[in-house]
Amino acid sequence: MTDSLAVLILAAGKGTRMKSARPKVLHRIANQSMIQHVIDTVMALKPERVIAVVGPGMDDVADEAGSAEIVIQQEQRGTGDAVASARRLLTGFEGDVLVLYGDTPLIRSMTLGRVLAERRHRNAAVAVVGMRPHDPGAYGRLVVAADGSLEAIIEAADGTPEQRAITLCNSGVMAIDGKELFSLIDAIGTNNSKNEYYLTDIVAIARSRGLACGQIEADAHEVLGVNSRAELAVAESEFQHRLRAKAMANGVTFTAPETVFLSADTTIGRDSVVGPFVVFGPDVTIGEGVEIPAFCHLAGATIGDHAIIGPFARLRPGAVLADNVHIGNFVEVKNSALAEGVKANHLAYIGDSSVGTRTNVGAGTITCNYDGIAKHKTVIGADVFIGTNASLVAPLTIGDGAMIAAGSVITADVPADALALGRGRQVVKKARAKAWRAKAKAGPVKKKPKVKAKAEAAKAKPAAKKSVKKVAKKVIKKAVKKSAKKRR
């Protein structure tokens, strides 16, 4: 026997029960596609080649499969036909061929190693992974001989009542002797209720030829096939349980583990403490001794040792925080590098920036990095003090040791050790507050009704006319007297 291994991942199914435009195997568990979980698992076995079988037009699945070789199953004619699609790549291969599915994200490499060992130990043509689900339902049943070898796999739809009473079920995962693979595949027929080529038939075919078959039993949760949104949620829950358990075993404290959600690639250093309702998106690396209180969201971030993040903080992709950085409540950091000892403890946004060592970013500070068309960078030196409610309009450079006055809008570079103010001059009106309060307490001035005011105005018009005539008479009389004097 040879120890060489080829892995065949069947991923051509459309997953109609998912009710999704996205192929089933691209749905995500812990922020990673199901097929990628399977590929990551089999890579631990160091296979000679990995092949993914996809359907026509499933370029997105092929792209997600990364370095795996791709073959197309032109028609959906059953699992046996799917394996036959890889004939061109596996003809002449004499090692183990491991067949598994792109929708089984929870399977462990240890289980795959066990089924390979079972096949080699028995020198079997086929070895199958079995399980005992709570509800056997439509699963195929494994018929096992007294010596533990496998006699047959019976599809539930084709089985007798006695066969359907068997609790050991087929998971679909098989290890097959490469020398026998296509000889067995070519003997499969379609004499079944679905008129399809069942891969499971190769067990009965092998036994009819006097070839041995074996089986192992795995936990039903591990070989769960995800076919619906409900099963996707179950798989997510199980995978999160694994990730939390692994982190805690490596020295991380979760104060409320069931409320913390991790990504498949999350890395957290020992002696770090994570509070309730913290969510880790993809690509997060946390150092040692880090404190992350409740309700933080992190994605694409790298955090050094002994940092404090949150509560209610958000770190977005490109956030790189050095040792001893403090990020407080309602602070958001995106695409920015914060050097050792930087503090931004309250209500701030730091985007597209670099911040030097020991700099203090005051509450309400905003780096105005976007002008509506492009993003611009803010460079802040070491030991800078930025006062409350400062707006830093990028592109901008603030030198080491500078101070930015509270409430300032800074639009030009600030030299090292300078004090920058960018706000309106304060005006003080003495006693104005006292007068305002008195007026406010007195209440509004009462105005006369409009109808009454119009009536009074009408009465006043004749009096005003008489007054004008009287004044005119006096002026004329005075002018006549003055003219008479001049004649004399």
Residue 241 shares a structural domain with residue 205: no
| Residue tagged active-site, from 37, 241, 346, 376 | 346
Residue with tokens 């304060």: 426
Is residue 240 one of the residues assigned to a domain? yes
Distances (CA, A) of 181 to 39, 163, 184, 205, 372: 22, 26, 5, 11, 60
Which residue, 217, 245, 276, sits at the end of a domain?
Answer: 217
What is the separation of C-alpha 362 from the centre of its chain, rounded to a whole number of angstroms?
A: 29
* Residue 221 to residue 111: CA distance in whole angstroms: 12
pLDDT over 60 at 488, yes or no: no
pLDDT at 483: 61
* Residue 97 to residue 184: CA distance in whole angstroms: 13
Residue 379 shares a structural domain with residue 293: yes
pLDDT at 338: 98
Residue 144 shares a structural domain with residue 188: yes
Residue 294 shares a structural domain with residue 383: yes
pTM of the model: 0.85
Alpha helices in 123-166 (DSSP H): 161-164
Please compute the mean of the pLDDT values over residues 135-159 and round it to a whole number: 90
C-alpha gyration radius of the chain:
40
Residue 241 shares a structural domain with residue 298: yes
Which residue, 217, 245, 269, sits at the end of a domain?
Answer: 217
Q: Are 203 and 229 in contact (CB under 8 A)?
A: no
pLDDT at 476: 65
Is residue 49 one of the residues assigned to a domain? yes
Model confidence pLDDT, tens digit, residues 352-396: 999 999 999 999 999 999 999 999 999 999 999 999 999 999 999
pLDDT over 60 at 90, yes or no: yes
pLDDT over 50 at 1, yes or no: no
Residue 287 shares a structural domain with residue 152: no
Is residue 316 one of the residues assigned to a domain? yes
Is residue 101 one of the residues assigned to a domain? yes
297-298/314-315 β-pairing: parallel
* Residue 377 to residue 335: CA distance in whole angstroms: 10
Strand partners, 71: 53
Residue 144 shares a structural domain with residue 44: yes
Please compute the mean of the pLDDT values over residues 225-249 and round it to a whole number: 97
285-286/49-54 β-pairing: unpaired
Position 454 confidence tier, pLDDT thresholds 50, 70, 90: low
Q: Identify the sign of the CA torsion 83, 87, 89, 95.
A: positive
Residue 181 shares a structural domain with residue 252: no
Is residue 62 one of the residues assigned to a domain? yes
What token pair was written down for 437? Answer: 């309060």
Is residue 451 one of the residues assigned to a domain? no
Please compute the mean of the pLDDT values over residues 172-197 and round it to a whole number: 93
What token pair was written down for 99? Answer: 């067949």
Strands (E), 169-210: 169-177
Residue 208 shares a structural domain with residue 259: no
pLDDT at 462: 59
* Residue 282 to residue 31: CA distance in whole angstroms: 6
What range defines the domain where residue 393 resides? 231-420
376 is catalytic: no
pLDDT over 90 at 11, yes or no: yes
Burial class from Cβ neighbours inside 10 Å (0-12, 13-18, 19+) for residue 442 reads exposed
pLDDT at 466: 57
Distances (CA, A) of 37 to 31, 102, 140, 149: 10, 8, 25, 30
Model confidence pLDDT, tens digit, residues 151-175: 999 888 888 999 999 999 999 999 9
Strand partners, 177: 96
Q: Are 369 and 378 in contact (CB under 8 A)?
A: yes
Position 448 confidence tier, pLDDT thresholds 50, 70, 90: low
Question: Where is mean pLDDT largest: 1-10, 247-256, 465-474?
Answer: 247-256
* Residue 414 to residue 205: CA distance in whole angstroms: 81
Which residue, 171, 191, 217, sits at the end of a domain?
Answer: 217
Position 478 confidence tier, pLDDT thresholds 50, 70, 90: confident
Angle formed by the axes of helices 109-122 and 34-43, to 10°?
A: 50
Least confident of 168-177, 259-268, 464-473: 464-473
Strand partners, 99: 8, 174
pLDDT at 465: 56
Distances (CA, A) of 152 to 131, 164, 185, 191, 252: 15, 13, 15, 16, 46
Please compute the mean of the pLDDT values over residues 329-333 and round it to a whole number: 98
Residue 212 shares a structural domain with residue 252: no
pLDDT at 13: 87
Model confidence pLDDT, tens digit, residues 392-411: 999 999 999 999 999 999 99
* Residue 243 to residue 266: CA distance in whole angstroms: 9
187 Cβ contact list (under 8 Å, min separation 6):
201, 202, 205
Burial class from Cβ neighbours inside 10 Å (0-12, 13-18, 19+) for residue 119 reads buried
What is the separation of C-alpha 85 from the centre of its chain, rounded to a whole number of angstroms?
A: 35
Residue 122 shares a structural domain with residue 190: yes
What is the separation of C-alpha 19 from the centre of its chain, rounded to a whole number of angstroms?
A: 21
Q: How many domains does the chain have?
A: 2
Average pLDDT, the chain: 93
Model confidence pLDDT, tens digit, residues 25-61: 999 999 999 999 999 999 999 999 999 999 999 999 9
pLDDT at 458: 61
H or E segment and range at residue 215: strand 213-217
Is residue 437 one of the residues assigned to a domain? no
Residue 242 shares a structural domain with residue 277: yes
What token pair was written down for 450? Answer: 């409009």
> What string of DSSP letters covers 10-27?
E-----GGG--SS-GGGS
Model confidence pLDDT, tens digit, residues 72-82: 999 989 999 99
Is residue 431 one of the residues assigned to a domain? no
12-17: list long-range contacts, CB under 8 Å, 24+ apart: 12/53, 12/54, 12/55, 12/58, 12/73, 12/76, 12/82, 13/55, 13/76, 13/102, 13/103, 14/55, 14/76, 15/103, 15/227, 17/227, 17/228
Q: CATH number for the domain including 359? A: 2.160.10.10
Return the HEC string of 263-305.
Answer: CCCCEECCCCEECCCCEECCCCEECCCCEECCCCEECCCEECC
Q: Are 141 and 153 in contact (CB under 8 A)?
A: yes
Q: CATH number for the domain including 15? A: 3.90.550.10
pLDDT at 459: 62
pLDDT at 356: 98
